[in-house]
Structure formats: C-alpha cells, structure tokens
C-alpha cells in the first residue's frame, strides 16, 4: 500500500523510513532509524526530486505510481548521487523511458560510475542558476559542491519558495508520521540526531556549507525539504542558525565534555575526580564518555556542541591508547576546531609519552587551545596529587566562565 503525504497541494512526499538498518554508511548507529525523502511535483510537467535507498525501493515505486496516477514522469532531478538517494534511477528509466535526468557534469560522471546501463540519452544537463519550467512551478538550480559530495545541487522552486536541500538540514531519525518539524517536538526528538548527523556526515565541509548559506542568503525560502528527516515550513531561522553555528565550528554551549579511555579504571577514576571538582566549582551539564563504550559519532556530536574538551588516556604500546587515537584522528578528519582543551595522561613506566601523543594530535587541529599543563598520573592517582588536579579544575572553570 502506498504511503504518501502532501507537502503542498501539488507537491507530494513519496519517500519512506528504514528502522531496520543497523548503521548508516555501515558506520553510524541508527537507534531511531532514518528517513529517505523524495518529493514529486505534479504540474503540466512532472518532476521527482531524488530517489531513495534500495532498502525501501518497493514502497517508493508504489508511491510514485500512485501519485502519477497514469501520467508520465517527465523529470528526475538528482540533487545528490550518494546511493542512499540514487538507488532507483535505472528502474525509473526502465519504467519511464522518456524521463529527463536533471543533473550536472559531476552527477552524470557518478551515474556512469554507479550504473551499468547506458543512461546518457536521458541526461538533461543544467548549469548554476539555470531555470526549468514545469508549468506553474519553476525550478532553479544552485550548485553546492561538497555539501556533502562534489555533484550536490540545491533546487529552489520559485512559485512556492521551496528549497530542496539535498543532505543539508537533514537528520538521522525516521519520521513517525509527522512530516513537518513543527508537528514533532524537534528539540526532544531530533536535535541530538541532527547534530550527530551534521558533525559526522557534513562536519568536514563547514566552509562549503558557509558558501551555500551565503549563496542562499538573498533567496526567500518558505520551506526546506531535505533528503533526511522532517520538512521545515516554520521557524526556518532555528535550523539555519544551527547550521551557521555548526559550519563555523562555533560551540552552541559553554561547557565541558570529559572523554576518557581506561583499561583498569585508574584513568577513569582521575577523570571522575576531576568531573566532581568541576561540578563542585559550579559547572553544570557536564558530559562524560568512555571511548571504548560509546560510538565515536555521539562523542563527536557533543564535541561540536560544547566549548571545552578534556581528553584522558593511558599509555599503550609506548603511544596513545588506540581507541582514543582513532577518536582524535576522526575529529581531526572532520576539521573540528575552535575548542579549549585539557589533557590527562596515565603511564606506568614511560612518563610523558601519552600526554605528548595527545598534545600532538590536538595541536594538529585548527585553533585548539590547551588551556593548562597536562595532568599526569603514575598508574593510579594519589591523594597528594589533589592540589594539582584542583589547579586543572580551576583553570577549566576559569576558561569556561571567560566565555560568558
Ligand atoms: Fe544522505 Fe550524502 O547522502
């Protein structure tokens, strides 16, 4: 049975949800599933905005058949060629042989790479700023390379002022019937997942997101239709502001995330003592993670949110405990920057090794300030080290307060 929703009287959501997929891109846990959105415009000409992941192809094709109601599909706009959105191109050409596939040079290059079938006869190339009339509706194309792949386009429908935004403004989390963000409690249900999606999927491309936001700054937008998560038809400034912060690598909140690795509990103990001191000194909303327990995507999402990060780790193989090393390399790869950092190291027979490794990785990232000398323990923290840890806690509190 088809399952479609009306976005406007002539535009229909024809996507679907997947709550069975364990990991997005086979990496990121999906405890609340994911939505794959696709939108069909019914005008003198019909136009479909992207397709969906192969996991939900059957329903998607049924949705399109239902909405087209015997009509032909005239245009298939490919805003993004990643397989979670482009899995059905060949099948749509099989069903609608005259359909024009709207894309750019990169789009067509990637279609050639992902598909066996010769689809060139269906290609309809557009340039930046080109317009395509469907009748009452007119599409205008803005190129947004690297938000999140090089071929990405944003398609703006001029008569209803709707932006089809590809991955931008999307989120993990399936739709629970409510298509629009104002029908859900977005902050409670989606915000954490939207941040985790942004930081881990698009985070590296902050500069390109800023370029796209600038490009759209003169465009009047009434509705944002992303490829994942709810549609925005009200309070657009909320999600635009989040994207502005995230893509500038500006923390949303002054606060501390404590991130540790610990083999036998001794580094964990030092981090707990430090966290308790921070709390006693008045810091609230502290976050703490064990890198061996929590998937890095959640830790990275909080690193995007908060201003201060404390990394604590033991020495391993005369270097850094490798799960912590992997997390820091992941953060560096995503270009996380502009954070205040404190370091805690643990060694049994090789002093200085782990704090040197931590410092090297942190200093390799842009605008990361190490706010105090590292605190080191020798196998386990001793009561006589408390004054030194007090000093570190004081330095962290002072730095947090300095930000306001
Ligand atoms: Fe949802 Fe970049 O794909």
Mean pLDDT, the chain cut into blocks of 10 residues (404 residues total): 98 98 98 98 98 98 98 98 97 98 98 93 98 98 96 98 97 98 98 98 96 94 98 97 96 98 98 98 98 98 98 98 98 98 98 98 98 98 98 98 89
Atom number of ligand 1 nearest to Cα 36: 1
Q: Determine whether the shortest distance from the Cβ of 80 to ligand 1 is under 6 A.
A: yes
Closest CA to 258 of 138, 320, 342: 342
Distance 16 CA to ligand 1 centre (A): 15
CA of 21 to the centre of ligand 1 (A): 15
pLDDT at residue 69, rounded to an integer: 98
Q: Are strands 319-320 and 123-125 parallel, antiparallel or unpaired?
A: unpaired
**Gap between the Cα atoms of 318 and 321, Å rounded:** 9
Cβ of 167 less than 6 Å from ligand 1 = yes
Ligand 1 atom having least distance to the Cα of 167: 1
Distance 301 CA to ligand 1 centre (A): 18
Residue that has been written with the tokens 């953060």 in this structure:
331
How many A from CA of 255 to the centre of ligand 1? 30
Ligand 1 contacts CB of residue 325 (under 6 A): no
The reply to whether ligand 1 has any atom less than 6 angstroms from the CB of 110 is: no
* Ligand 1 midpoint to CA 51 (Å): 11
Centroid of ligand 1 to alpha carbon of 85 (angstroms): 7
Cα separation of 33 and 224, whole Å?
A: 21
- 378 - beta bridge partners? 347, 380
Atom of ligand 1 at shortest range from CA of 228: 1
* Any ligand 1 atom below 6 A from CB of 151: no
Burial class (CB in 10 A: 0-12, 13-18, 19+), 355: buried
For ligand 1, atom 1, name the residue with the nearest CA.
Answer: 167
- Say yes or no: CB of residue 50 within 6 Å of ligand 1: no
Q: What pLDDT shows up at residue 117?
A: 85
Cβ of residue 76 lying under 6 Å from some atom of ligand 1? no
Q: How would DSSP label each residue in 327-386?
A: HHHHHHHTT--SEEEEEEEEESS-TTHHHHHHHHHHHTSTTEEE-SPPEEEESB--GGGH
- If you count DSSP H runs as helices and E runs as strands, how many of each does the chain have, helices first? 13, 23
Q: What share of the chain is helix, strand, coil (3-state, %, to 5)?
A: 40, 25, 35
Q: Among the atoms of ligand 1, which is closest to the Cα of residue 148?
A: 2
Question: What are the chain's domains?
Answer: 5-247 (3.60.15.10), 257-399 (3.40.50.360)
**Reduced to 3 states, what is the DSSP secondary structure of residue 75?**
strand
Is the torsion defined by CA of 213, 248, 290, 277 positive or negative? negative
d(CA 88, CA 14): 13
Neighbours of 151 (CB within 10 A): 24
Query: What is the rounded distance in angstroms from the CA atom of residue 250 to the CA atom of residue 305?
Result: 8
This prediction's pTM: 0.97
CB 227 near ligand 1, within 6 Å? yes
374 CA distance to ligand 1 centroid (A)? 39
- Please tell me the predicted confidence (pLDDT) of residue 215: 93
Report the atom number in ligand 1 closest to the C-alpha of 166. Answer: 1
**In whole angstroms, what is the distance from residue 268 CA to residue 401 CA?**
25
Cα dist from 251 to 62, 183, 390, whole Å:
43, 27, 25
Residues ≥6 apart with Cβ < 8 Å to 97:
122
Name residues whose C-beta falls within 8 Å of residue 99's C-beta, 6 or more positions apart in sequence. 72, 73, 74, 75, 76, 92, 93, 122
Is there an atom of ligand 1 within 6 Å of 84 CB? yes
What's the gap in Å between 333 CA and the centre of ligand 1?
18
Quote the ligand 1 centre to 141 CA distance (angstroms): 18
State the distance from the centre of ligand 1 to the C-alpha of 84, rounded, in angstroms.
6
- Tell me if 11 sits within 8 A of 233, measured CB to CB: no
| CA 148 / ligand 1 centre spacing (Å) | 7
For residue 146, the model assigns a pLDDT of 97
CA distance 371 to 355: 14
Structure tokens at 120: 């060139």
């Amino acid at each position: 049975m088809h399952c479609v929703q009306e976005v406007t009287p002539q535009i229909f959501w024809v996507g679907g949800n997947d709550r069975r997929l364990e990991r997005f891109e086979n990496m990121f846990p999906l405890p609340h599933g994911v939505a794959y959105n696709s939108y069909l415009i019914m005008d003198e000409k019909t136009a479909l905005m992207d397709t969906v992941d192969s996991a939900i192809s059957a329903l998607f094709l049924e949705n399109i058949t239902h909405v087209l109601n015997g009509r032909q599909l005239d245009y298939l706009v490919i805003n993004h060629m990643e397989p979670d959105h482009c899995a059905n191109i060949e099948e749509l050409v099989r069903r609608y042989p005259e359909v024009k596939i709207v894309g750019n040079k990169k789009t067509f290059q990637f279609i050639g790479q992902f598909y066996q079938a010769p689809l060139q006869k269906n290609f309809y190339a557009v340039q930046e700023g080109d317009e395509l009339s469907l009748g009452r509706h007119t599409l205008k194309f803005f190129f947004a390379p690297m938000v999140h792949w090089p071929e990405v386009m944003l398609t703006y429908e001029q008569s209803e002022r709707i932006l089809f935004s590809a991955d931008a403004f999307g989120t993990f989390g399936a739709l629970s019937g409510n298509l629009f963000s104002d029908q859900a409690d977005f902050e409670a249900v989606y915000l954490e997942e939207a941040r985790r999606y942004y930081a881990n999927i698009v985070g590296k491309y902050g500069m390109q997101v800023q370029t796209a936001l600038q490009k759209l700054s003169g465009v009047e937008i009434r509705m944002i239709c992303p490829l994942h998560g709810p549609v925005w038809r009200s309070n657009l400034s909320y999600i635009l502001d989040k994207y502005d912060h995230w893509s500038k690598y500006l923390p949303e909140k002054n606060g501390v995330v404590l991130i540790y690795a610990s083999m036998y509990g001794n580094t964990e103990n030092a981090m707990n003592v430090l966290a308790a001191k921070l709390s006693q000194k008045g810091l609230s909303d502290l976050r703490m993670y064990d890198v061996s327990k929590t998937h890095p995507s959640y830790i990275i999402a909080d690193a995007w949110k908060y201003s201060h990060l404390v990394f604590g780790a033991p020495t391993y193989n005369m270097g850094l405990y490798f799960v912590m090393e992997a997390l820091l390399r992941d953060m560096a790869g995503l270009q996380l920057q502009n954070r205040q950092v404190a370091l805690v190291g643990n060694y049994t027979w090789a002093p200085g090794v782990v704090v040197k490794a931590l410092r090297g990785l942190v200093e390799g990232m842009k605008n990361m300030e190490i706010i105090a000398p590292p605190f080191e323990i020798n196998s386990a923290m001793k009561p006589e080290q408390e004054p030194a840890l007090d000093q570190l806690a004081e330095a962290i509190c002072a730095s947090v307060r300095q930000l306001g």
